[in-house]
Protein backbone atom coordinates (compact mmCIF):
# COMPACT_ATOMS: atom_id res chain seq x y z
CA UNK A 1 0.00 0.00 0.00
CA UNK A 2 1.06 3.56 -0.62
CA UNK A 3 2.71 5.34 2.29
CA UNK A 4 3.01 9.07 2.95
CA UNK A 5 5.75 10.12 5.37
CA UNK A 6 5.68 13.36 7.34
CA UNK A 7 8.06 14.65 9.98
CA UNK A 8 6.30 14.57 13.36
CA UNK A 9 7.10 18.17 14.21
CA UNK A 10 8.31 21.45 12.79
CA UNK A 11 9.12 24.55 14.81
CA UNK A 12 9.43 28.08 13.48
CA UNK A 13 9.74 31.56 14.90
CA UNK A 14 6.92 34.05 14.34
CA UNK A 15 7.18 35.84 11.04
CA UNK A 16 9.39 33.16 9.52
CA UNK A 17 8.55 30.56 6.89
CA UNK A 18 7.50 27.00 7.75
CA UNK A 19 8.00 24.16 5.33
CA UNK A 20 6.19 20.91 5.95
CA UNK A 21 7.10 17.98 3.76
CA UNK A 22 5.23 14.86 2.68
CA UNK A 23 7.26 12.04 1.19
CA UNK A 24 5.99 9.26 -1.04
CA UNK A 25 7.19 7.10 -3.88
CA UNK A 26 6.88 9.23 -7.03
CA UNK A 27 4.40 11.49 -5.24
CA UNK A 28 5.03 14.04 -7.97
CA UNK A 29 2.77 11.98 -10.21
CA UNK A 30 -0.12 12.34 -7.78
CA UNK A 31 -2.30 15.22 -6.73
CA UNK A 32 -1.55 16.20 -3.12
CA UNK A 33 -3.95 17.89 -0.73
CA UNK A 34 -3.21 19.47 2.65
CA UNK A 35 -5.32 19.93 5.77
CA UNK A 36 -4.88 22.00 8.89
CA UNK A 37 -6.31 20.68 12.15
CA UNK A 38 -6.40 22.71 15.33
CA UNK A 39 -7.04 21.05 18.70
CA UNK A 40 -10.61 19.92 19.14
CA UNK A 41 -11.59 20.89 15.61
CA UNK A 42 -12.24 19.08 12.36
CA UNK A 43 -9.58 19.35 9.65
CA UNK A 44 -9.77 22.21 7.18
CA UNK A 45 -8.36 21.98 3.67
CA UNK A 46 -5.69 24.60 3.03
CA UNK A 47 -4.23 23.43 -0.29
CA UNK A 48 -5.60 21.10 -2.96
CA UNK A 49 -4.20 19.72 -6.19
CA UNK A 50 -0.62 20.38 -5.10
CA UNK A 51 -0.79 24.17 -5.03
CA UNK A 52 -4.33 25.54 -5.27
CA UNK A 53 -5.93 27.35 -2.36
CA UNK A 54 -9.61 27.13 -1.43
CA UNK A 55 -11.40 30.41 -1.08
CA UNK A 56 -10.76 31.99 2.29
CA UNK A 57 -7.31 30.48 2.74
CA UNK A 58 -4.60 33.17 2.94
CA UNK A 59 -2.00 33.47 0.21
CA UNK A 60 0.59 32.72 2.88
CA UNK A 61 -0.26 29.04 2.34
CA UNK A 62 1.27 27.53 -0.77
CA UNK A 63 2.19 24.08 -2.01
CA UNK A 64 4.51 22.32 -4.39
CA UNK A 65 5.03 18.74 -5.51
CA UNK A 66 7.85 17.10 -7.40
CA UNK A 67 9.70 13.83 -7.43
CA UNK A 68 9.26 12.06 -4.11
CA UNK A 69 8.35 15.08 -1.99
CA UNK A 70 5.41 17.45 -1.67
CA UNK A 71 5.79 20.59 0.42
CA UNK A 72 3.38 22.87 2.19
CA UNK A 73 4.90 26.29 2.75
CA UNK A 74 3.48 28.77 5.23
CA UNK A 75 5.02 32.22 5.06
CA UNK A 76 4.92 34.90 7.77
CA UNK A 77 3.90 32.32 10.34
CA UNK A 78 1.83 33.49 13.30
CA UNK A 79 0.51 31.92 16.48
CA UNK A 80 -2.77 31.16 14.72
CA UNK A 81 -0.97 28.75 12.39
CA UNK A 82 -0.07 26.37 15.22
CA UNK A 83 -1.82 23.15 14.28
CA UNK A 84 -1.37 19.65 12.93
CA UNK A 85 -0.99 19.46 9.17
CA UNK A 86 -1.84 16.38 7.10
CA UNK A 87 -1.11 15.57 3.50
CA UNK A 88 -3.45 13.31 1.50
CA UNK A 89 -3.52 11.61 -1.88
CA UNK A 90 -5.63 9.12 -3.79
CA UNK A 91 -3.74 5.93 -4.50
CA UNK A 92 -5.10 4.63 -7.78
CA UNK A 93 -3.35 1.27 -7.48
CA UNK A 94 -5.41 0.38 -4.42
CA UNK A 95 -8.38 2.76 -4.82
CA UNK A 96 -7.64 4.19 -1.40
CA UNK A 97 -7.48 7.58 0.20
CA UNK A 98 -4.12 7.86 1.97
CA UNK A 99 -3.20 10.32 4.72
CA UNK A 100 0.24 11.17 5.98
CA UNK A 101 0.99 10.76 9.66
CA UNK A 102 0.69 14.47 10.32
CA UNK A 103 3.13 17.22 11.31
CA UNK A 104 2.71 19.36 14.38
CA UNK A 105 3.67 22.95 13.66
CA UNK A 106 4.87 24.86 16.71
CA UNK A 107 5.34 28.62 16.62
CA UNK A 108 8.14 29.46 19.02
Partner 1 sequence: QVTLRESGPALVKPTQTLTLTCTFSGFSLSTSGMCVSWIRQPPGKALEWLALIDWDVDKYYSTSLKTRLTISKDTSKNQVVLTMTNMDPVDTATYYCARIQGSNPRMYYFDYWGQGTLVTVSS
Residues that bind partner 1 (CB under 8 A): 1, 30-31, 33, 35, 37, 42-45, 48-49, 54, 86, 88, 90, 92, 94-102
Residue whose C-alpha is closest to residue 37's, from 91, 89, 81 = 81
Which of 14/54 has CB closer to partner 1? Answer: 54
- Residues 63 and 47: beta-carbon distance below 8 Å: yes
The CB-of-45 to partner 1 minimum distance in angstroms stands at 6
Among residues 13 and 90, whose Cβ is nearest to partner 1? 90
Let me know: does 102 contact 84? Beta carbons within 8 Å. yes
Amino acid sequence: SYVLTQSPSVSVAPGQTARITCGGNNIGSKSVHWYQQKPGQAPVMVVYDDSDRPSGIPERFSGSNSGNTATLTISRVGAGDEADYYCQVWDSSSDHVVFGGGTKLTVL
